[in-house]
Amino acid sequence: MFQLPPDRVLLWLGALLYLAGFLTGLLALLRRTGGAAQRTWLNVLLVAGWACQWGGLYVRGVAAGGCPLGNTFELVQFVAWSAMLVYFFVGTAFRVSLLGLFTAGYAAALAFIALLITAWDTARGERIFGDNPWIEMHAALAVFSYGVFGLLALTAVMHLLQNWSLKHKRLNGLFWFLPSVVQLDQINQRMLSLGVLLLSFSLVVGGNWFRQDPASVDLPKLIVTIGVWFAYLVVLLLRWRAWLVSVRFSWVCLVMFMLALLSLGPVNSSRQHEIPLTPADR
Amino acid sequence: MEPTPPVLFFLGATHHTAPLAVREKLALDETRTAALAAKLQATPGVKEFAFVNTCNRVELYGVGAAAVFGGFTGTLAEVTGCSPEEIGAVVKTHTGHHAIEHLFSVAAGLDSQIVGETEILGQVKDAYDKALARHWTGPVLNRVFQKTFQAAKHIRTHTRIGEGQVSVASVAVDLAGKIFGDLAPVKVLVVGAGDIGLKTAQAFQSRGAKAITVASRTLSRAEETAAAAGGWAASLADLPDLVAGADIVASSTSAPGLVLPRDLVAAAMKRRAGRPLFLIDLALPRDIDPAAAELPNVFLYNLDDLAKIAEENIAHREAEVARCKAILAERTAALWPQVARNLGSADS
C-alpha cells in the first residue's frame, strides 16, 4: 500500500516548492516576461507545494489524532497553508496580479522559519482536542482566519507600495505590475470581513464549549484571543464607517497581523499548561 | 535586349526624408492611387505592387524587372505633379532583402514618428487588403506581407517596444487606471473648455469613462466641449461640489491664479468617504495648488510630471529598437531565400 513520506520531508518539499514558485515569479518579473506560461508555472509550483504541505500536515494529523495544531511549528505551517488556500480562491476570483508572487514568498518564509527553528517542534500535544470535533473546528477556523489575515497583510503591503509609488511619482519597479489602489483597497476590505467572520464563528464555537467547561481555557489565552478578534472587529467597523481608509487602513492591517502572529506564542504556551506534551517524532 | 530578372523593390518617402509640405504633395488619394496603379500595370515587367499611404509615408512595394524600376520616380512625379528633382531628393529605394527588412520595420512601428505605435500595423494591413482585392499582388508580395504581419506581432508580444504611453493625455489615463482600475464607473471633471480639456476628456472617454463633466467660466463654452466629449456642462461656480463628486479632476484653464486651492481640495476630501482623488494639472501657470498633493489619498500630477513619464517611456522604447531590429534581421534572413526562389533568382 502507498505510504506517505515522513511529515517533515513533505513539509520541506512544500517549502522548497513555494520558494521555487517565488523565484520563478521574481525572475519573470525582473525579465519582464510574465506571460500566461509563467503564471501557469508559478501556479503549478504553488499547488504542488500546497499539496506537499497538506500531505505533511495530514501525516502529523494522523499521528496526533486530530487537526495538527499541537505546537508553534504546526500552527505556523497551518497559517502558511491557509494563506495559500485563500490565495487560490482570491487570486482566481479577483485576478490580482503579483499576489501569487507575494503569497509564494510569504508562505515560503513562514514554512522555512518554522522548519529551521527546531525548538518550535521539540514536543507537541497529542489528541489535544480530545474527542470533541467542535473544539477542533474552533481551533482550525481560528488558525485559518490567521491565514486570511496574513494574506490581508500582503495585499496591504501591495497597497502601500502602490500608494507610495503614485504619491512620490516613482513609477518604476513593481508599479506597472501591481493592481490599482482602489482594487487593492476593495480586496483588503473583503479579506478583513472574511477573516473577522471566520474568527467570530470560531469564537462562537469555542465560547459554547467554554460555557460548559470554564476551567478548560485559561485567562491569558482567553484575553489574547478575544483581544485579537475585538481589535480586528474595531478595524472593520472603522473601515465601514470610512474613518480608517487608504494608507492608514493598510498600515493598521499590517501591524495588526504582526501582533496577531505574536499572539500565537501566548496562546500556544497557555495551552501547553493544559495538554501533556510528547516529543515530536522527527 | 535580354530581359532582366525581376526584383523585389521598395520606393518611398517618409517623415524621415520628406518635410510635411512635400508629403502633402505626394499623398495618394483614391484618384492618384488609381492613376498610379494604371501606369504600373501598363509598364512591361511590373508583376506585383502595393501602396502604403499614411500621413507619414508614401511607399510603393513591388516586384518588377530591375531595368524598369529606375523609372518609377518619374511615374510618381507624373501622378503627383511634383518635379522629378523634388521627388528625387526625398525618395529612398531598397531592393531585395533590404526591402523586406524595411517593410518589417514599418509594420512593427520601428520606423514610425512615435516609435512603437500600433496604428501603422493596421494601416499596412489595410494597404495589403486593398492591393489583394484589386489583384495587384501576387505570390511574392502575398508571402512577404503575411510574414510581415507575423513579424510585427512577434515584436509586439516579445519586446517592450509598445510599453508605456507616450502622450501626456494617455499617460494621465494610464495613471488613472493604476489608481481606479476600471475607468467605466469613474467620474471625470474637466476644468477648462479649451482644446487641451477636450483632448483630455476624449482620452478618458476612449478608455471607458462615461461620466464626464466639463466646467468652465463660460457655460456656453463648457456646453460646446461637453457635447464634443459626450459629457455634461457645469459652471465653475459649482467647483467645490463638482470636485467632491469627481474621482478625476483635469484642469487646463488659462486663469492667472490657482483654480483649485488646497483648502478647496481638503474640504472636498472630507466629503469623499475615503475615495482617492486624482488631480491632473495641465495648465501653465498651474491651476492646482501643489500643496494639495500633501493631502492623504490625493494624487497630483502636473504637466512636467506627465511629460517626464512620457519621455521615459519614449526612451525605453528607443532602447528596445536595436533588439527589435536584430529580431527582424533574423526573420528577413530566414524569409529571403524563399522569396528569392519565387523571384526566380538566387539574389537580386
Based on the domain organization, do A154 and A228 belong to the same domain?
yes
CA nearest A170 in B: which residue? Answer: B309
Give the residue from B160, B163, B178 with the most A CB atoms within 10 Å of its CB, the best one to mutate: B178
ipTM associated with this complex: 0.78
Based on the domain organization, do A68 and A182 belong to the same domain?
no
- At the fourth CATH level, the homologous superfamily of domain B6-158 is Glutamyl-tRNA reductase, N-terminal domain (3.30.460.30)
Asked if A245 reaches chain B (Cβ–Cβ under 8 Å), the answer is: yes
Among left, alpha and beta (phi > 0; psi -120 to 50; other), residue A234 is alpha
Q: Would residue A280 count as lying in a domain?
A: no
Based on the domain organization, do A91 and A114 belong to the same domain?
yes
How far apart are alpha carbons B124 and B129 in whole angstroms?
9
Q: Mean of the pLDDT values across residues A216-228?
A: 82
Residue A256 in this model has a pLDDT that exceeds 60:
yes
Q: Would residue A169 count as lying in a domain?
A: yes
Task: Assess contact for A14 and A111: CB atoms under 8 A.
Answer: yes
Task: Assess contact for A25 and A101: CB atoms under 8 A.
Answer: yes
Based on the domain organization, do A141 and A104 belong to the same domain?
no
Residue A241 in this model has a pLDDT that exceeds 60:
yes
Q: Would residue A281 count as lying in a domain?
A: no
3-state helix, strand, coil in chain A (%, to 5): 80, 0, 20
CA distances from A271 to A67, A124, A128, A265, B298 (A): 15, 11, 9, 10, 47
Is A246 within 8 Å of B309 when comparing Cβ atoms?
no
How far apart are alpha carbons A17 and A45 in whole angstroms?
6
Is B293 within 8 Å of A167 when comparing Cβ atoms?
yes
Residue A273 in this model has a pLDDT that exceeds 60:
no
Give the residue from B247, B270, B271, B297 with the most A CB atoms within 10 Å of its CB, the best one to mutate: B297
Mean pLDDT of chain A: 85
Based on the domain organization, do A186 and A212 belong to the same domain?
yes
R_g of chain A, CA atoms, integer Å: 19
User: Hey, CA dihedral for A60, A64, A67, A71, is it positive or negative?
Assistant: negative
Q: Mean of the pLDDT values across residues A28-32?
A: 77
Amino acid A9: pLDDT: 92
The structural domain count of chain A equals 2
Amino acid A282: pLDDT: 44
Numbered ranges of CATH 3.40.50.720 in chain B: 168-308
Q: Would residue A126 count as lying in a domain?
A: no
Instruction: Pick A181's closest partner by Cβ from B164, B179, B293.
Output: B179
Backbone angles phi, psi at B68, to 5 degrees: -90, -20
Amino acid B134: pLDDT: 95
Instruction: Pick B296's closest partner by Cβ from A166, A178, A246.
Output: A246
Based on the domain organization, do A249 and A147 belong to the same domain?
yes
Instruction: Pick A180's closest partner by Cβ from B179, B274, B305.
Output: B179
CA nearest A178 in B: which residue? Answer: B178
Numbered ranges of CATH 3.30.460.30 in chain B: 6-158
Q: Mean of the pLDDT values across residues A199-207?
A: 90
Q: Would residue A127 count as lying in a domain?
A: no
Instruction: Pick A242's closest partner by Cβ from B273, B276, B309.
Output: B273
Asked if A175 reaches chain B (Cβ–Cβ under 8 Å), the answer is: yes
Q: Between A and B, how many CB-CB pairs are < 8 A?
A: 44
Nearest Cα to A77, choosing from A59, A54, A100? A54
Is B274 within 8 Å of A245 when comparing Cβ atoms?
yes
3-state helix, strand, coil in chain B (%, to 5): 55, 20, 30
Amino acid A281: pLDDT: 47
Task: Assess contact for B61 and B9: CB atoms under 8 A.
Answer: yes
Task: Assess contact for B171 and B306: CB atoms under 8 A.
Answer: yes
| B330: Cβ contacts below 8 Å, ≥ 6 apart | none
B324 catalytic? Reply is no
Strand, coil or helix: what is A5?
coil
CA nearest A34 in B: which residue? Answer: B158
CA nearest A245 in B: which residue? Answer: B274
**Interhelix angle A99-116/A36-64, nearest 10 degrees:** 30
Residue A274 in this model has a pLDDT that exceeds 60:
no
Instruction: Pick A182's closest partner by Cβ from B175, B179, B301.
Output: B179
Is B160 within 8 Å of A32 when comparing Cβ atoms?
yes
Cis peptide before B285 (omega within 30 of 0): yes
H or E element at residue B117: none
Asked if A225 reaches chain B (Cβ–Cβ under 8 Å), the answer is: no
Give me the catalytic one of B34, B38, B55, B334: B55
Instruction: Pick A182's closest partner by Cβ from B175, B276, B296.
Output: B276
What beta strand segments (E) does A68-175 contain?
123-125
Considering the domain B168-308 in this protein, what is its CATH number? 3.40.50.720
CA triple B6-B12-B16, angle to 5 deg: 140
Amino acid A7: pLDDT: 87
Is B179 within 8 Å of A179 when comparing Cβ atoms?
no
CA nearest B271 in A: which residue? Answer: A242
Based on the domain organization, do A29 and A66 belong to the same domain?
yes
| B329: Cβ contacts below 8 Å, ≥ 6 apart | B101
How far apart are alpha carbons A197 and B184 in whole angstroms?
31
Domain finish residue from A61, A95, A121: A121
Q: Would residue A282 count as lying in a domain?
A: no
Q: List, run by run, the mean pLDDT of 10-residue segments along chain B (348 residues).
A: 77 90 86 92 92 91 85 87 87 93 96 87 95 95 96 91 84 93 94 89 90 92 90 92 96 91 96 92 92 95 91 88 94 94 64
DSSP B224-282: HHHHHHT-EEEEGGGHHHHHHH-SEEEE----SS-SB-HHHHHHHHHTSTT--EEEEE-
Q: Mean of the pLDDT values across residues A143-160?
A: 92
pLDDT tens string A116-131: 998 888 766 665 666 6
Q: Mean of the pLDDT values across residues A14-33?
A: 87
R_g of chain B, CA atoms, integer Å: 26
Strands B187-191 and B46-54: unpaired
Asked if A219 reaches chain B (Cβ–Cβ under 8 Å), the answer is: no
Chain A residues close to B296, C-beta within 8 Å: 246-248
Strand, coil or helix: what is B301?
strand
Residue A250 in this model has a pLDDT that exceeds 50:
yes
User: Which amino acid is present at A36?
Assistant: A
Chain A residues close to B275, C-beta within 8 Å: 182
What cell was used for A51? 499539496
User: Which amino acid is present at B43?
Assistant: T
Based on the domain organization, do A172 and A85 belong to the same domain?
no
What cell was used for B331? 526573420
Interface of A with B in 13-72 (CB under 8 A): 32
How far apart are alpha carbons A96 and B181 in whole angstroms?
11
- Which of the pair, A116 or A263, is modelled with greater confidence? A116
**Residue that has been written with the C-alpha cell 527553528 in this structure:** A117
Task: Assess contact for B189 and B246: CB atoms under 8 A.
Answer: yes
Q: Would residue A89 count as lying in a domain?
A: yes
Give the residue from A97, A155, A180, A186 with the most B CB atoms within 10 Å of its CB, the best one to mutate: A180
Residue A277 in this model has a pLDDT that exceeds 60:
no
Range of the domain at A103: 1-121
pTM for the model: 0.76
Is B297 within 8 Å of A176 when comparing Cβ atoms?
no
pLDDT tens string A60-116: 888 877 778 878 888 899 999 999 998 998 877 766 768 888 899 999 999 999 999
Residues in chain A: 282
Based on the domain organization, do A148 and A270 belong to the same domain?
yes
Chain B residues close to A182, C-beta within 8 Å: 179-181, 275-276
Domain finish residue from A121, A156, A179: A121
Based on the domain organization, do A65 and A171 belong to the same domain?
no
Domain finish residue from A75, A97, A121: A121
Amino acid A1: pLDDT: 52
Q: Would residue A172 count as lying in a domain?
A: yes
Nearest Cα to A250, choosing from A182, A174, A176, A194? A182
Based on the domain organization, do A110 and A69 belong to the same domain?
yes
Based on the domain organization, do A253 and A137 belong to the same domain?
yes
